[in-house]
Amino acid sequence: MTQFNDLNLDPKVLKAIAEAGYETPTPIQAGAIPPALEGRDVLGIAQTGTGKTASFTLPMITLLGRGRARARMPRSLVLCPTRELAAQVAENFDTYAKHTKLTKALLIGGVSFKEQDALIDKGVDVLIATPGRLLDHFERGKLLLTGVQIMVVDEADRMLDMGFIPDIERIFGLTPFTRQTLFFSATMAPEIERITNTFLSNPEKIEVARAATTGENIKQGVVMFRASRKDREAGEKRDLLRRLIDAEGDTCTNAIIFCNRKMDVDVVAKSLKKHGYDAEPIHGDLDQSQRTRTLDGFRAGDVKILVASDVAARGLDVPAVSHVFNFDVPSHAEDYVHRIGRTGRAGRKGTAIMICNPRDEKNLEDVERLVQNPIPRLDDPKGANAAPAEAPAAEAANEEERPRRTRTRSRSRTRDEAKPAVKAEAQETTAPKAEAAPKAEAKPAPATETKPEPKAEPKPDPTTRGGFGDAAPGVAWRKRSGPWWPRPAQKRHPRRGHRRHG
């Protein structure tokens, strides 16, 4: 079996690896480190959680051991799709390079430009950045990429999903042609293959697992969910999620719940908190400081459940995540591989459970087609989807008996149809009173009672007031295709001999 000592790494790097507790490299590390040390381009394809970060960090530190960085001209560049993943790479670099004098700078959003500019001006050996913030510094004239010797693109397929491919192509054009390129991805989409053919020169391809495969140590399952009523779907789906969490019991030490939309992340996290669960949200709209606090709390065990969008699917490295719950079926099938890759890391066992609506069945088929394996169907922990406690059975029965309003072309027809039924009900209710009616008719009416004759109402005069408001003096009323409109009187101009409006 290959050991780190057999990979010709720098002794200072080997010392840091031993202090970190690692002895045996993973398959992607054993395959990518030797050609990277030889200066060749590398194309690494491996599923999430197989140690791709160390595959380019260790050879980079060894190759940069000799030399010195110049101001505003980094010697190596690492591009990451998310802030969390960039921060993870920076932490690994600090771990493996602590016995060297190499410097680094982290360029991500949510941090002051002034602090980042100060680091770049001093000169850094390794620049770890997201594409957007890197181009911001370049356009401001604070950064030059002509001295890049090693360029790394991490999670390239996630770059494609987030729309960073045009930025990646532009950054490639700003770096020297003689650079060494290390390209890593979990899946191999056609667009990613086009970029590798364009910017990599005779790369060494290391594919330790079939593209878009899931770990064998991850137990997967999907619950087919159908709501009792459309307006209750969201609430019943959250009830099902809580039942699934409770059904796992003590085996669920911590969990990540993935949602497709940021709005659902906040709603699900708030619902879990309301029912007594220790949950916190994380998505792209939160401040970087809040995202950092939430991730640190989850890593430390202070937060048990993390409700996240796909922003955390690639940038969260917590080795001991026991469960992953997919509240929604991912829109992109590749995201399923990265989501469930948050559990079952470093050889541990993991569980991934997904909830599927009828409208998401097509996305489920895409996921099963990608992984080339059917996902086992699971049952609801409490049987079929019953109506929630908020809606009792009596209320549901009343809803069924209550007639629904339907639009008709003529309302008079429906009213006329309803009149016979109303008359029939009135006759039934007044039937007992009809027996006492002859006694009341036997009494003659007094002769003095006379009904007053109705007074005749005066007809409105269209030329005067007539119910339309007081007419001003000299103003008559005339009709303009419908309502009555006031017409001002005509006056003669004192100098000119024509009429004008007063």
Hey, where are the domains in the chain? Answer: 4-207, 218-388
Per-residue pLDDT at 96: 94
Second CATH level (architecture) for the domain 4-207: 3-Layer(aba) Sandwich (3.40)
Per-residue pLDDT at 422: 44
First and final CA of the chain: distance in angstroms?
A: 108
Per-residue pLDDT at 423: 47
- Residue owning tokens 């996290």: 269
Exposed, middle or buried by CB within 10 Å (0-12, 13-18, 19+), for 448?
Answer: exposed
Per-residue pLDDT at 334: 79
Ranges in the chain, pLDDT < 50:
384-403, 406, 408-426, 428-442, 445, 447, 464-471, 477, 479, 502
Backbone angles phi, psi at 325, to 5 degrees: -115, 125
Per-residue pLDDT at 406: 47
Per-residue pLDDT at 411: 47
Q: What is the dihedral angle through the alpha carbons of 176, 179, 184, 185, rounded to the nearest 10 degrees?
A: 30
- Answer whether 0.75 is exceeded by the pTM: no
d(CA 500, CA 73): 83
Chain CA centroid to CA 303, Å:
21
Per-residue pLDDT at 214: 67
- Residue owning tokens 């690492």: 78
- Token pair of 495, please? 């100098």
Per-residue pLDDT at 383: 52
Answer whether 325's CB lies under 8 Å from 272's CB. Answer: no
Domain 218-388 has CATH 3.30.9.10: no
Answer whether 258's CB lies under 8 Å from 313's CB. Answer: yes
Per-residue pLDDT at 31: 93
Q: Single out the residue of 375, 312, 335, 25 nearest to residue 187, CA to CA.
A: 335
User: In CATH terms, are 4-207 and 218-388 the same topology?
Assistant: yes
